[in-house]
Amino acid sequence: MDRPRITIFDTTLRDGEQSPGCSMNVQEKLRLAQQLDRLGVDVIEAGFPIASDGDFEAVQTIAASVRRPIIAGLARACTPDIDRAWEALKGAAHPRIHVFLATSDIHLKYKLRITREQCLAQAREAVRHAKSLCADIQFSPEDSTRTDIPFLCEVVEAVIAAGATTVNIPDTVGYSMPEEYGQLIRTLKEKVAGIDNVTISTHCHNDLGLAVANSLAGVQNGARQVECTINGIGERAGNASLEEVVMAMRVRVDRYPYETSLATEQIFPSSQMLAEITRVAVQPNKAVTGRNAFAHEAGIHQDGMLKNPLTYEIMTPQSVGVPDSRLVLGKHSGRHALALRCQQLGHHFDRRELDEIYRKFVILADRIKRVQDSHLLELIHDVTSNFSNVDTGAQGKKFPAASAVPLPRGAAVVGGAHESVPAHIPVGPGHLPKPNAFGEHHGEQEDYLWGV
Ligand SMILES: [Zn+2]
């Protein structure tokens, strides 16, 4: 009955925050870290302390005030980085230093200009130094998936011997395929001495849209920590999306019999908070957290949903914190769905009235694709004033003024935070990327120099 537990390592504040347009200030990071705590993530990677004073302060502030989860800080494999990370982390209830060093030949040759032997020695030394400061040490061989496998095994073995407690295997450039990534994790499990005493972690990028699939393949082959971000934000095409990884394991527990400690009903509030802070909207069809993730427009789907949500819904909106499943009213909507929405807006009609409203609704929907509650209320108002002209007695009683109608929970999503985000999306040229440690802007070419 006991399912293996998967540690959820959230890097929204580090890898996510590094992505263009997603910079956050210290207060915003703290607010999000507190939400991640409510969400129940096991590890919060709060930043890269040597990268800037702002990053340092954010890590230090979060370490001081968010006490339940492990707080991690990133460091390159060198003493100044590690010391700076420790300085920021040492006030944490559960600190973790995350050291990384590239291991692929292409990074060694062109980026670091060191040999494999130098790389191996540097990794070992860095972990040894970090271990002298902190018990919980994570090591990432950057660009693992393009590293020669025997050399990768050698590095992993060396850092475990030096004291690493988690070994993270980044698909830094989003190059791997699920079977291949799973096989890599299995090879490490089979070949590396001491691997059973540490946690293997996944860190997958989404350049080919496979970050979540690769992370799950890693878990199936022995990884017990997944690194991910809210809304899948991160360098270039982003990181594995936290909500997709977690809900895949929750919904398909028959295929992925693993546990996480997440309070999944906090997923949607977390996604909304991130979108609001960064002003980067969630793509409407994004799995789990997109505006349309629980919307049903086609008449036949709406009819099925009304009869039994299981017909078209594999998880309930409530299970991820979306207030209500929303039936989007458009030209394909049926009379049944329209009547229900009218009821949710506080209007009950007889057949004749509904016929008239439906007739006008179809004309309107043909014109404006998607009928919002405000449109519907206006339409109801028009139709009902006509009725009241003919049919005296009903006026004012049956049809309260639009502004006086309390919106139902579903409608609050339509007009509320869920839809307010796109209004302030623009991440135009005015949105400056954050400066890196060298005081330059964090340009696209530097992206892969900066983290795993
Ligand atoms: Zn990354």
Q: How far is the centre of ligand 1, averaged over its atoms, from the C-alpha of 151 (Å)?
A: 21
Residue 327 confidence (pLDDT)? 67
Q: Given the structure tokens 């929907």, which residue do they identify?
A: 365
Residues whose CB falls within 8 Å of the CB of residue 338, separated by 6 or more in sequence, listed in order: 329, 354, 357, 358, 361
According to DSSP, the β-strands at 370-371 and 329-330 are antiparallel
Q: How far is the centre of ligand 1, averaged over its atoms, from the C-alpha of 270 (Å)?
A: 20
Distance (Å, rounded) from C-alpha 234 to C-alpha 228? 9
| The token pair that represents 448 in the structure block | 């892969």
- Residue 304 vs residue 111, higher pLDDT: 111
Backbone angles phi, psi at 7, to 5 degrees: -75, 125
Instruction: Flag the least confident range among 3-17, 101-115, 278-292.
Output: 278-292
- Residue 414 vs residue 165, higher pLDDT: 165
pLDDT for 280-309, tens place per residue? Answer: 999 999 999 998 898 887 888 888 888 888
Quick check: 100 pLDDT over 80? yes
Helix (H) or strand (E) holding 60: helix 53-65
Closest CA to 334 of 362, 369, 372: 362
| The token pair that represents 89 in the structure block | 């982390």
Residues whose CB falls within 8 Å of the CB of residue 322, separated by 6 or more in sequence, listed in order: 268, 293, 294, 413
Backbone angles phi, psi at 155, to 5 degrees: -65, -45
pLDDT confidence tier of residue 389, bands split at 50, 70 and 90: low
Q: How far is the centre of ligand 1, averaged over its atoms, from the C-alpha of 235 (Å)?
A: 6
pLDDT confidence tier of residue 402, bands split at 50, 70 and 90: very low
- Residue 250 near residue 216 (C-beta atoms within 8 A): no
Q: How far is the centre of ligand 1, averaged over its atoms, from the C-alpha of 250 (Å)?
A: 24
Residue 131 confidence (pLDDT)? 98
Q: How far is the centre of ligand 1, averaged over its atoms, from the C-alpha of 326 (Å)?
A: 34
Q: How far is the centre of ligand 1, averaged over its atoms, from the C-alpha of 372 (Å)?
A: 39
Q: How far is the centre of ligand 1, averaged over its atoms, from the C-alpha of 15 (Å)?
A: 5
Distance (Å, rounded) from C-alpha 155 to C-alpha 174? 21
Which SS3 state, helix, strand or coil, does residue 15 take? helix
Closest CA to 16 of 275, 192, 335: 275
Q: How far is the centre of ligand 1, averaged over its atoms, from the C-alpha of 16 (Å)?
A: 8
Q: How far is the centre of ligand 1, averaged over its atoms, from the C-alpha of 175 (Å)?
A: 12
Q: How far is the centre of ligand 1, averaged over its atoms, from the C-alpha of 54 (Å)?
A: 20
Q: Please give the average per-residue pLDDT across 135-144, as a whole number.
A: 98
Q: Where are the alpha helices (DSSP H) in 210-309?
A: 211-220, 242-251, 267-278, 299-307
Distance of CA 233 to the CA centre of its chain: 6
Q: How far is the centre of ligand 1, averaged over its atoms, from the C-alpha of 239 (Å)?
A: 6
Residue 1 confidence (pLDDT)? 64
Q: How far is the centre of ligand 1, averaged over its atoms, from the C-alpha of 397 (Å)?
A: 59
Closest CA to 211 of 234, 187, 185: 234
Residue 150 confidence (pLDDT)? 98
Residue 388 confidence (pLDDT)? 61
Q: At what angle do helices 26-39 and 53-65 cross, to 10 degrees?
A: 40
| The token pair that represents 447 in the structure block | 């992206």
Residue 195 confidence (pLDDT)? 98
Q: How far is the centre of ligand 1, averaged over its atoms, from the C-alpha of 253 (Å)?
A: 27
Residue 331 confidence (pLDDT)? 80
- Residue 331 near residue 274 (C-beta atoms within 8 A): no
Q: How far is the centre of ligand 1, averaged over its atoms, from the C-alpha of 18 (Å)?
A: 9
pLDDT confidence tier of residue 180, bands split at 50, 70 and 90: very high
Phi-psi region of 147 (alpha: psi -120 to 50; beta: other; left: phi over 0): beta
Q: How far is the centre of ligand 1, averaged over its atoms, from the C-alpha of 335 (Å)?
A: 48
Residue 390 confidence (pLDDT)? 53
Q: Please give the average per-residue pLDDT across 139-149, as a whole number.
A: 98
Q: How far is the centre of ligand 1, averaged over its atoms, from the C-alpha of 205 (Å)?
A: 6
Q: Where are the alpha helices (DSSP H) in 171-259?
A: 178-191, 211-220, 242-251
Q: How far is the centre of ligand 1, averaged over its atoms, from the C-alpha of 318 (Å)?
A: 30
Residue 300 confidence (pLDDT)? 86
Q: How far is the centre of ligand 1, averaged over its atoms, from the C-alpha of 292 (Å)?
A: 28
pLDDT for 330-350, tens place per residue? Answer: 888 888 888 888 876 777 788
Distance (Å, rounded) from C-alpha 204 to C-alpha 212? 7
pLDDT for 43-98, tens place per residue? Answer: 999 999 999 999 999 999 999 999 999 999 999 999 999 999 999 999 999 999 99
Q: How far is the centre of ligand 1, averaged over its atoms, from the C-alpha of 336 (Å)?
A: 47
Distance (Å, rounded) from C-alpha 8 to C-alpha 421? 27
Q: How far is the centre of ligand 1, averaged over its atoms, from the C-alpha of 11 (Å)?
A: 8
- Residue 138 near residue 97 (C-beta atoms within 8 A): yes
Distance (Å, rounded) from C-alpha 86 to C-alpha 122? 18
- Residue 226 vs residue 428, higher pLDDT: 226
